[in-house]
Amino acid sequence: MPRLVLPIAGLLLCSIALAQTVAPVEVGVRPLREVALPDRGTAPASVIALNDSRIAAEVTARVARVHAGVGGMVRAGQLLLELDATDYRLALAQADAQVTAARARVALAEQRFQQALTLRKKQFVSDDAVLELKTGVQAAEADLKVAQAQRAVAARNVEKCRIVAPFAGVVLERQAQVGATATPGASLLRLVDLAPPEIEAQVQAIQADELPRATELTFDGQDRRYPVKLLRLSPVVEVTARTRVARLAFAGPAAPAGSSGTLRWLTPGVLLPPELLVKREQTLGAFVVENDRARFVPAPAAQEGRPFAVALSPETLVVVRGQQGLTDGQPVTVASGTR
């Protein structure tokens, strides 16, 4: 064997022996369940009444009487306002007269048609004349239907002069004044529903998918915290704000409609503190200990300086001290009192 080969082989054997005898690095570890932070989400929210309606007139008429005042509670179907229906009652009477006249014309046309049928048997009336009389009956019946429709419109206009509450609620505003003329579409009263309100929250799109699996949902108002439950989550993302609308219901006592606050929830996942985050080969993650060796666990969604999510079991030993100098696969020993 050449003399040069022996020294090289010796050096290699020494290097291997030294590598095998390198002392493991001492690190501090703690179970994931002890260091993990709860993954909480928040979103601005407001309490919305199921119905917040501005009651308007459907016909033009003078306001005759107002039966509901600001702050007053009303039942569904309760009379709120009365408009002067004089002109519409006159139109209804005229429509009634037109219906009566149309019925008389139908009766006369039918009578003439029946007479023509009898005379045709005796050949006193031609077939063309009978056909003409039959057509007259059909025309008279059509005129009757038109008159009845006009009468229904007139009757409906009279009904519109009595404005009733579409739901049980409280009157928040009153624009109607006795003697003033109400016009179609002009607001007369503002009525807010007394039914339990809902919560509307603007949830960031990146957080919205976790909301159906979230626990401990609460609405934090100005005075207290209210437990809530998810009703609906819009599948559409609002383009400018990149949010999705969530509707929730109060699980117990409700905050007053119009209140604003914050929706809070706890997601099934956990987060690690930002000080445990390290970077290896341009990848962010954390170190854990497995079989007396350090293992680097990537966290693709992590951001420096912020808590980050990892997919590990609660009993996994996470390196909490000495992680900055570790490499993946490096032998380690656990410092006493840190496990």
Task: Kindly report, residue by residue over 227-253, the tens digit of the pLDDT.
Answer: 999 999 999 999 888 999 999 999 999
Coil/strand/helix, residue 11: helix
CATH number of 22-38+272-334: 2.40.420.20
State phi, psi for 280 to the nearest 5 degrees: -130, 120
Please name the residues in contact with 102: beta carbons below 8 A apart, sequence gap of 6 or more: 140, 143, 144, 146, 147, 148
* Helix 86-121 with 127-159: angle, nearest 10 deg: 160
58, 162 contact by CB (below 8 A): no
CATH number of 59-81+161-193: 2.40.50.100
CA count, 13 A, side-chain hemisphere, 49: 17
pLDDT for the residue numbered 311: 80
User: The tokens of 57 are what?
Assistant: 């007139």
pLDDT for the residue numbered 16: 47
Which long-range contacts (C-beta less than 8 Å, at least 24 apart) are formed by 222-231? Answer: 222/259, 222/261, 226/250, 226/251, 226/252, 226/253, 226/254, 226/255, 227/251, 227/252, 228/199, 228/263, 231/198
- Each domain of the chain, given as residue ranges in start order, spans 22-38+272-334, 40-50+195-268, 59-81+161-193, 86-159
Amino acid of residue 144 = L
CA 77/CA 165 separation, integer angstroms = 5
Q: Which of 208, 191, 304 is nearest to 247 (CA)?
A: 208
Place of tokens 């030294």: 18
Positions in the chain short of pLDDT 50 = 1, 4-6, 12, 14-20
pLDDT for the residue numbered 19: 45
Q: Which of 6, 43, 24 is nearest to 210 (CA)?
A: 43
| Measured CA distances, 333 to 91, 208, 293 (Å) | 98, 42, 8
Coil/strand/helix, residue 9: helix
How is domain 40-50+195-268 classified at the CATH fold level?
Elongation Factor Tu (Ef-tu); domain 3 (2.40.30)
List beta partners, residue 132. none
Q: How far apart are the first and last CA of the chain?
A: 53
43, 207 contact by CB (below 8 A): yes
pLDDT for the residue numbered 38: 80
CA 61/CA 84 separation, integer angstroms = 6
Task: Count Cβ atoms within 10 A of the Cβ of residue 62 and give its class: 0-12 exposed, 13-18 middle, 19 or more buried.
Answer: middle
CATH architecture, range 86-159: Orthogonal Bundle (1.10)
User: The tokens of 181 are what?
Assistant: 């003329």
